Each structure stands twice: as C-alpha cells, then as structure tokens.
Amino acid sequence: MTISQLLNDYKNGTTTPRDVMANIRAQIAEHAENPIFIHALSEAELEPYLQRLEGVSPDALPLYGIPFAIKDNIDLAGIPTTAACPAFSYIPEASAFVVAQLIEAGAIPVGKTNLDQFATGLVGTRSPYGACRNSIDPAYISGGSSSGSAISVALEMAAFSLGTDTAGSGRVPAAFNNLVGVKPSKGVLSTSGVVPACRSLDCVSIFALNTEDAKAVFDIACAFDAADPYSRKMPKTGGTAEKTMRFAVPLPSQLKFFGDSEAEALFNAAVARFESMGYTAVETDFSPMLDAANLLYSGPWVAERYIATKQIMDETPEQVLDVTRSIIEQGRDKSAEAYFNAEYRLKAYKRHSEQMLEGTDFALTPTTGTIYTIEAVNADPVQLNTNLGYYTNFMNLLDFAAYAVPAGFRPNGLPFGVTLFGDAFEDRRLMDVGEAFVAEAPRG
C-alpha cells in the first residue's frame, strides 16, 4: 500500500477511497488482538473525509484518498487524544497543524495509534491499552514510543503514519518493523497540537514503506507554522553541504550491540554496502554524541516531561504507569543551575561533534544495537530501554536531522536498520542517500 500505487489505482478506477477504507477496517479487525489503535475511526467518523473526495479528481490533490495513522499524542479534531493515559484524555476542537496539512492534501485519517504512555519509552510496551507486538514476530517488541504508528504501516492499515521523536521514537519502531523513518530537523514539522514530551526537543516523525512516500509526505507536512514558537522554516535549498563521498562511523570501541552478533554483522554489511557505492567510511570519535545522549534523562530536560504532565502527576499520579511515573518524577526537582550547567556542556558537545563530522556527508550508526522480546523488556524495563537509546538519544539535543532505513534481516526474519544523520535542514539529502542505499540491497 504505497502512495503511488494507490493514486494510480484511483486514477485507473480500479478502486475507490471507500473501498480502501473498508479493507483497512477489515484488516484492523483481523489484528484486533494486537492493540495497534487506541481509536480507529468509525464509518460515521470517516464519512466527512470520504464525502469531501467525491467528485474530486485524484489529480487534484497530492494525497487524494491516502490513508494515514496518527500517534495518539497528536490531535485529530473531534477524536480523543489520550497520550496512552485515559485519565488525561481530551477531545480537541482542531487538528494538529501537521494533520490539517495532510488532510487538506486529501489524506484520510484511519485513527489514533497506541504508544508508550506520554511518549516515554522506546519499547512499545508501556501502555494501559496493551503492549504492541512486532509486525513480523509477535513475541518481540514493536519499538516505541510510536509503536502503533509503525505497525499500522507495516501491516497495511495505513500508507504512512505520523509519530513523534524525542529520544528515538520515530526511528526505533522503523528499524523493528522494516520501515523508513524520518526524524526531521527540529521545527520543520510543526508541533502545534502535539502533547509535549520535551517541548524544546520534540519532532513529529513520519513512517513509510519507502523513501518516495516519505518524501511526498515530508514535502507537504514541512510548512512553517507561525503559531508554533519552535517552528523553523526549511531553507529552499534543503541543505547546502558539498558531497565528499565520506561518511562517519563510530570508533570500534564505541559500537555496542549488547551481545547481538547478528546485528553487528548486519551493521558491518551496511558499511560495506556504502563503500561499494563509492563512499569511504571514516572512523570517528563519537564521544560528544554519546556524552550528550546521557544528558537526556540524567540531565534537566526530564523536567519538560514533568511540566507537560504536571496536573495529573500532582493530583492523580496513580493514573500513570509505574515505570512512566518513575521517569517523569525525576523532573520535579531539577534546578535552574542544573539546566544551565547542562546547557553549557551541551553547547560544547555540539561544537565538538561538528568538528568531528567535518568533511563527511553524513554519519552512520545502527538504529539500535539489538532487539528484545516483550518478556525480556517486562523483566527489565528500564535498562533494556536505555540500551535501545544508545544511538538515538543525542539526536535532537544536538539538532541533527536523521533518516532510518532498513538494512537487512536476521536469520529469524527480524529486520535490522541503520540511521543516517547530519546537520539540521539536510533532511532531503539524507533521504536521497538512504534511498540509494536501500536500492543497492542484495536481492533474493
């Protein structure tokens, strides 16, 4: 279910948006045991979107009849937003800015997807609605926090979906479900109408089956929002870095696979594939990135999670899952002194990382060093979640753009992914390179 295929089918008259949505509702029912959606739109709720397209040519709208899923910390007018906390639920009068852009382009919302509560987690198991199961092997985690958004695309319940990404939530689920994941430059996709996790770091992310679809959605969603104080205009050039045909990889001593030799072999194969494409791998000291990553939860930014949930945390904390509450509570007592000390360190890490990456086109890491079963995560929820953030937590703190792409399969059929990242506003160039990498994947 790709955008180009659906548009082609609509133009040829081989299907209609009504037929597509009926098939999707049947697919959702077939996978009812997997809590992918917190709220799938009913036929009555879908009707206004379908009626709007009647009598309109598929050529008139770039996303005509394209179904998409929305992480349930992003507002859709008239549909509850829960952030995976029923006590927090509210019904917004207006859709989030990004959602409105996509609907205006002809896209049809399928529903609101499950997530790690308050977008706090990389596992997809921290929800009172149930743990989302991996689309390929249900014994394994889906990745989070944008769990349902990723699975909905992987299981053809949507052509693309919206997630959010603060610490890796738009990349980890992409890797675990064989998707591409756009972690845009901060601010180029508006966060108006999004429940904050860390407001100064949050990004709306995109899941898709391929780069062509990811680009199409990005180009529509990437619009300046004057009402969002964190919104930034995307330069018209979409990136200015000159190509050097060199890419940075961490020093061997800095690569962590947490005992997963299959992931290590797949990453080495990804590096070799880029080299076969004419690039040169440059071993680079990633210590400024890794040091910055440690600030995300040990530093003062966790206070932003507390600010976003303050009322429920102060008045009815029992409504928040234990593991989520334990993380957010750390933000209660962060001081201004702690913030500025951390900010000074972060500025130094940013400068150092820029120097380390100078003369390269992009940096390449595993998206995650390994994958876990749901049972394993339930037995050790904090440490295993921390392991999954090793390559992701620094990205927004250091203002990078990132693109996660599939990079092969383990012998048991589970996918592995890598992430390309670079300077802010290099989003489209990273997608171009990622697309070329995927095109060179071994066949068979």
304-328 pLDDT per residue, tens: 999 999 999 999 999 999 999 999 9
**169: pLDDT strictly greater than 60:** yes
Number of domains making up the chain: 1
Residue 139 contacts residue 115 (beta carbons within 8 Å): no
- Give the mean model confidence (pLDDT) for residues 368-376: 98
- Is 145 an annotated catalytic residue? yes
SS3 call for 121: coil
**242: pLDDT strictly greater than 80:** no
From 135, 145, 185, 205, the catalytic residue: 145
What pLDDT does 139 receive?
A: 98
What pLDDT does 244 receive?
A: 87
**192: pLDDT strictly greater than 60:** yes
Q: How many CB atoms lie within 10 A of CB 397?
A: 25
**Is the peptide bond prior to 145 cis by the omega test (within 30 degrees of 0)?**
yes
- Give the mean model confidence (pLDDT) for residues 373-394: 97
What pLDDT does 209 receive?
A: 98
Q: H helices of 224-309, where?
A: 261-276, 287-298, 302-308
- Give the mean model confidence (pLDDT) for residues 238-253: 83
**7: pLDDT strictly greater than 90:** yes
From 169, 190, 205, 353, the catalytic residue: 169
Q: Which residues are bridge partners to 109 per DSSP?
A: 68
CATH number of the domain encompassing residue 168? 3.90.1300.10
Domain that holds residue 181: 1-444
- Give the mean model confidence (pLDDT) for residues 180-209: 98
**239: pLDDT strictly greater than 70:** no
Confidence of residue 442 (pLDDT cuts 50, 70, 90): confident
Phi/psi for 414 (5° steps) reads -75, 140
Confidence of residue 412 (pLDDT cuts 50, 70, 90): very high
Distance, in Å, from the CA atom of 265 to the CA atom of 258, rounded to the nearest integer, reads: 13
What pLDDT does 23 receive?
A: 97
48-58 pLDDT per residue, tens: 999 999 999 99
